[in-house]
Amino acid sequence: MKHKRIHAKIVGYLEENGNATTGEIQTWLRNVRPVRNRARGAGHMTGQSINVLGNVLRRKPIVKKGFDSTVKQTVWGVDESL
């Protein structure tokens, strides 16, 4: 599975902060600094498209929780039953 580190970071973020929209997650990931000054590390999303983020968000335990019509973005959360 590609982007394992990014997926793990997103799961941790959602567990800590609760549900978030796609835009909030993307903004948070772009502000996270990579570990050990690697060019591409855990959470380093510079240069990654919104399509990559969408593919990462489709994986369990991350699930769609709803839709925020004010910003027209999906709301994501962690499924507690998994």
Domains and CATH numbers, the chain: 4-78 (1.10.10.10)
Q: Alpha-carbon torsion 13, 27, 4, 73, what sign? A: positive
Angle, CA of 24, 25 and 27, to the nearest 5°: 65
More confident residue, 44 or 17: 17
For 8, 11, 33, 38, 41, the CA distances from 20, given in Å and listed in that order, are 15, 11, 20, 27, 22
* Per-residue pLDDT reduced to its tens digit, 24-56: 998 888 887 665 555 555 445 655 778 888 889
Global pTM reads 0.79
Q: Which of 20-24, 39-43, 66-70 has the lowest mean pLDDT?
A: 39-43
